[in-house]
Structure 1
Amino acid sequence: MGDHCVVMDTAQGASAQTQPSCWCCGNAFDDTDLTRLGAHPEVGLCAGCARWLNRRARSTADQGRRSPAVVLRRGIGAARERVMTVGAHAWPLVGPLLTRLDRHLP
């Protein structure tokens, strides 16, 4: 009976070690919380890193363009960079509000 408990503990430890992690930030997530890349299913990204990667890709695609949407995205990007520079994202009251707002911005 004691051996059965050891086997269960070992099995639980093995499953904890094999929990998938985000390829970008390295944090552990459930597999359903990761977005897989089509041609590379071994790569999984969490929602936060996928948003960041989308912003980077859009910024690259926007280079040299001057549409109103591009100008707006650049303004938001500049404001986001300024918030990070002064550390406002880490302030106790302002930080959570900025994080929530950031999820809805392009």
Structure 2
Amino acid sequence: MTQAKAYCVEHSKTITLDEAHELYFAQPPGDRKRFKFQCGDSLCRAQARPTVIAALYDRLTPAEGGETKYRSPYFQRHRDHEHVVGCTWREQGESEGPADSVPEYKP
């Protein structure tokens, strides 16, 4: 399942990959550090705090002088971090598993 946004721990907000790219390159060249991401679903993040992988946002695009062989950035679920039932990051029809042991959030 492709996701358009994830929660960036360092910036304390949900951002897109384009925003992650801009924020990454806004850092001083010698001090650039990759960001940590969590699930973009606020209820899931509050309960399970699952890590999300953000790949390739820290590379220059061909238009910016990067490699001509270019692959688009993407978010991906971390296989060891489960999401709660009802989270937008869970696959539709996903089998019951460890994520179901996390109680459903009820405000």
Shorter-normalised TM range:
under 0.3
Greater relative CO, 1 or 2 (CA 8 Å, sep 6+): 2
Structure with higher helix content? 1
TM-score, length basis structure 1: 0.22
Structure with higher strand content? 2
TM-score, length basis structure 2: 0.22
Q: If you compute each CA radius of gyration, which structure gives the higher value, 1 or 2?
A: 1
